[in-house]
Amino acid sequence: MKKVLITRDFIETEIGDALKGFDVIVGKKDSHMDRNEILSLLPECHGVIIRHVDRPDREFIDRGRNLQVIANYGAGYETVDVAYASSKGVWVCNTPDVLNGATADIGMLLILNACRLSYRAESFLRKGLWQDSDPNRFHGMHLGGKTLGIVGFGRIAKALAARAQAFDMKVVYHKRSRIPEAEESSRGVTYMGFDDLLGSADVVCVLTPLTEQTRGMFSRETFRKMKAGSVFVNIARGQVVVEQDLVEALQSGHLAAAGLDVFEKEPEVHPALMKMDNVTLLPHIGSAATEIRKQMADLTVANVAAVLRGEAPITPVNSLPE
């Protein structure tokens, strides 16, 4: 009987029926399985369902000598050595599209919170200070008529652009490969070079994948190119940002505020960010809606079941020779 390892239990789906006929090993609901435990179980496994923290590198893949499929519970798969998995005949799958809208919602939430200083205002209220409030204390940035610059323009970014336009924002974007002009026109967005976008956008939101080219792309030099008094939002990957440089840009006042759902060394957060009342911090919850997480879980399980039954995976990120 083929064996499937799930490194952390899904709260959102029943795996019994979906993986009927397979021997399933399931981790705990409230914690990630220790890597050493994962490595000890892998030699007997034919499929594994991972979270991004599990990091299927060469050691991981070599240990899984019977592996046929690695299914990531999430859209991003930069922690998987996809090329090496492909060389070993192992499928790698993710959950694209399912979480586009939910993650775009969090992007819009962070934009609103950062621009309107909601954390500062709520903290003030919770401390019982409203009766002493200066009516001008919480003046933030009105979104109407402002420019949102999106770096990266994939599916989530396109969903975010539509939401921002509903708030009467102008949307510009930068992407390594520009989308067709007809699509730009239909979506009401404008392409800009990277430096031009930084210098003109009132809000910059990062939605680029994490690659060797984008790692640390938002650094001291990049932040200096941003418009004075602008807002920075990141819902991509924390390692796209040099966090200390972001802290300095905020402390200097060059950036007015920030909204972050991802962090350079998560789950650690830069201690200076934790103390700033002009920064909204979320614990990587872009897809954290009950309906979305269930769809992600269902798709992840379906990918594993398909491969182990000799079928093609539903949403592979690599290709294997026939």
pLDDT digits (tens, 9 = 90+) for 24-82: 988 877 677 899 999 999 999 999 999 888 999 999 999 999 999 999 998 888 899 99
pLDDT digits (tens, 9 = 90+) for 206-225: 999 999 999 999 999 999 99
Domain boundaries, the chain: 3-96+290-308, 100-281
Q: Which residues are catalytic?
A: 237, 266, 284
More confident residue, 133 or 195: 195
Residue 194 pLDDT class (50, 70, 90 cuts): very high
CATH of domain 3-96+290-308: 3.40.50.720
Put residue 207 in one of left, alpha, beta given phi > 0 → left and psi -120 to 50 → alpha: alpha
User: What three-state secondary structure class fits 9?
Assistant: coil
User: What three-state secondary structure class fits 12?
Assistant: coil
Give the integer Cα–Cα distance in Å for 26 and 297: 13
Query: Helices 118-126 and 100-116 meet at what angle, rounded to 10?
Result: 70
Q: What is the DSSP string of 98-134?
A: TTHHHHHHHHHHHHHHHHHTHHHHHHHHHTT-GGG--
pLDDT digits (tens, 9 = 90+) for 235-293: 999 999 999 999 999 999 999 999 999 999 999 999 999 999 999 999 999 988 989 98
Find, among 234, 281, 272, 276, the residue nearest to 256 by Cα: 276
- Sequence-ordered list of residues with C-beta below 8 angstroms from that of 134, at least 6 positions apart, any chain: none
With a pLDDT cut of 90, the percent of the chain lying above it is: 78
Domain 100-281 indexed as CATH 3.40.50.300: no
Fold: same for 3-96+290-308 and 100-281: yes
Mean of per-residue pLDDT scores for the chain: 93
